[in-house]
Chain A
Amino acid sequence: MAELPGKALAEELIGRSEAESRSTPFEDVIAAARTGMLDGDALNRLIGRLWTLERMFYYIYGGWGQGLEINDFPPSIKYLFSKQIVDESTHEMLYLDLLLRRKLVPTQKEAFRHPYGQFSVDSALALYVFSLRNLATYPHPVRIAALNLGPKIVEFAWMAALADVVADPDLKAAFTSQQVENRSHINMGRRIVEEFVAKPVDAEMCRWACRVAAQDYNRFLHELADLVLQRQTPPPPVQRVRVTD
């Protein structure tokens, strides 16, 4: 079998994200869950914000989908992307079901209006969403590298850790049941980078996009942890990038 051109890059990006996933702003939430300090409303805040993020993926992927053209990639790549959209939609449904089952809101329409489910433009969640949506005009392997080999790996780690310790059986099942799909997104990201990122300029773009997505996701996790734990801590520093043209 021929050596895949992006194999080393995929390994590099995965390795960096795995290292980052060992220490995230979510550690305190996991610790609070372990000691039984997360009450029902804290879980509602967590589920509400995760639902808000998940439903924004319709907006992100809507933009990404427009960046795919006829014959730019084999059908398998487009199949993998559609599968990822379906999975993300499933996760959105899981969180909405939980909000309804926990009776935080009586209807789906109310969930959109509830403070925990509202989308606010002035938030780290929005910054992360717009940051991902901004990748719509980039080549598909670059944006898939940014998300699937960046925040998805960090998310996989904290979600598994939280699922291990959270006492609420429904939330535990919601997290655990996502693991196969999330692992598949990481694997499909690895495959796409391995197969389609061959030129050094593309590899550098993948590194940049992955770094930006990870940084913005980290800020979202920090905001979410503060909201869940009802505290205010200084946000993580932002890496300044000098823009030239």
Chain B
Amino acid sequence: MSLKVDHARCTECRMCYIVCRELDINAVYVALEPLHRIEIDLDACTYPGCTACLMYCPAEGSIVEAATGRSMVPPPPEAWQA
């Protein structure tokens, strides 16, 4: 299971990038295209083991479960227990 960014809602504030780097998980990266949007590496992301990006994301619905499309922002109660 992993997370992905909904670019229609993401404001590109990059808080997810910062916390992911600080935790040395390095799953969030800047895409190598001119818009330089934030993406999540499905192989590197350790969700649901780590939910740090969800805790800092300010834009409702901008991070979703890759498999189900379920919005994870604001984080549901179970995310706080991870």
Contact = CB atoms under 8 A, between A and B. Distances in A.
Interface residues of B, number: 12
B78 interface: no
Nearest to B30: A93
A177 B32 contact: yes
Contacts of B34: 176-177, 179-181
B32 A170 contact: yes
B33 A108 contact: no
A173 B33 contact: yes
A181 B33 CA distance: 11
Contacts of B2: none
A100 interface: yes
A170 B33 CA distance: 10
B24 A107 contact: yes
Interface in A158-177: 170, 173-174, 176-177
B47 interface: no
A148 B2 CA distance: 41
Contact of B30 (A90, A108, A109): A90
Contacts of A181: 34, 36
Contacts of B24: 106-109
How many of chain A's residues touch chain B, expressed as a range?
Answer: 10 to 19
Interface string A92-124: 011011001100001111000000000000000
A177 B33 contact: yes
B45 to A, nearest CB: 14
Nearest to B29: A97
A177 B34 CA distance: 4
Contacts of A93: 14, 17, 29-30
Given A108-B24, A109-B24, A181-B34, 6 more contacts: A90-B36, A94-B36, A101-B29, A107-B24, A108-B26, A177-B33
Interface of B: 14, 17, 21-22, 24, 26, 29-30, 32-34, 36
14 contacts: A90-B30, A93-B14, A94-B30, A94-B32, A94-B36, A96-B21, A97-B30, A101-B29, A107-B26, A109-B24, A173-B32, A177-B33, A177-B36, A180-B34
